[in-house]
Amino acid sequence: MKLEYPMRLQTYLAKSGCGSRRGCEQLITGGRVKVNTNVVTELGTKVERADVVTLDEQMVEPSEHTYYFALYKPKGFVCTNYDPYEKLYARDLIDVPDRNLLFHIGRLDKESTGLILFTNDGNVANRIMHPSMQIEKEYLVNVDEDLRREDLEEALKGIYIDIPEPYKIKSFYIQSKRWAKIILTEGKNREIRKIFSYFGYDVKQLVRTRIGCIELDNLKIGEYRRVDPKEIEDLLAGENSEGVPDDRRH
C-alpha cells in the first residue's frame, strides 16, 4: 500500500500495526500517543513523513507493505499484543520480519482454538469487524452433556444474559450427541460460551473453523499461512462457503 502524506494520525497508527482504526482512535483519545514529543488527543490530527510518532513511549512507523495471515491459534495463547500477566501471544507464532506490525482481527479467548486473522491493514480490519458486514464465523463446539435441540432453537431467536442486546446464533447443526456446528454473524465477547452456559452446559472445546470464505483448511494447530488479497476481497464481498447440508441445518 502506498503511503500518502499528510496522513491522519489514527490511519498512521493503524498502518503501523497498532490496531484497527477504531482501536487507534481510542489510543489517541486516551492520551497514549505523542507526535514529536507532544501528547495528541485530537482525532484527525495530520502527520507528515518526517514526524516522530510514539505509542506508550515506543516509536511506531507504518509499512508500505500490506500483510494478511491466517493462524490456527492453540489453546493457552492470547490475542492481545501485550498483557503484563500473559506470556503466550498468538502473534508470536507468525514468524515474519514485520511481525511487530501485525494485530488481530477480532479475537478468540485464551481457552479457545482455531482461525484468527492478523494484518497491518487497519481499514480492512475495521470493515471485517463492523457488525453491518454480517460476516459469518463458524465454530465447532463440544459440551459436557447431551445437546438439547430446543436450547439451540431458542438461541436462534435470541437470549438475554448480561447486556441489553440479545445473544443470538445464525444457525446450528448437531453433529453428534455432544458436538455442534454453530454459526454467528456478530461475535460478542465470549458469546458462544455465555450462550451454552446459560443453558447449563460446560464447553469442553471451542474451535473456530471459518471466517466468511476463509477456512482453516489444512492448517495444523500453531501453523499459519499468508492470505491472498483476493481472499480478503471475497471475504468483504460476502462470499461464504458454509457447507452445511440443507436437510440438517437449522
- Indicate which residues carry an active-site annotation: 109
Which residues lie closer than 8 Å to 33 by C-beta, 6 or more apart?
A: 9, 13, 27, 39, 40, 41, 53, 54, 55
Exposure string for 28-58, b = 16+ CB within 10 A, e = fewer: beeebbbbeeeebeeeebebeeeeebebeee
What is residue 132's DSSP assignment?
A: G
Helix (H) or strand (E) holding 114, with range, is strand 113-119
Torsion angles phi and psi, residue 66, rounded to 5: -105, 130
Strands 113-119 and 68-73: antiparallel
Please tell me whether the peptide bond between 97 and the residue prior to it is cis, using omega within 30 degrees of 0.
Answer: no
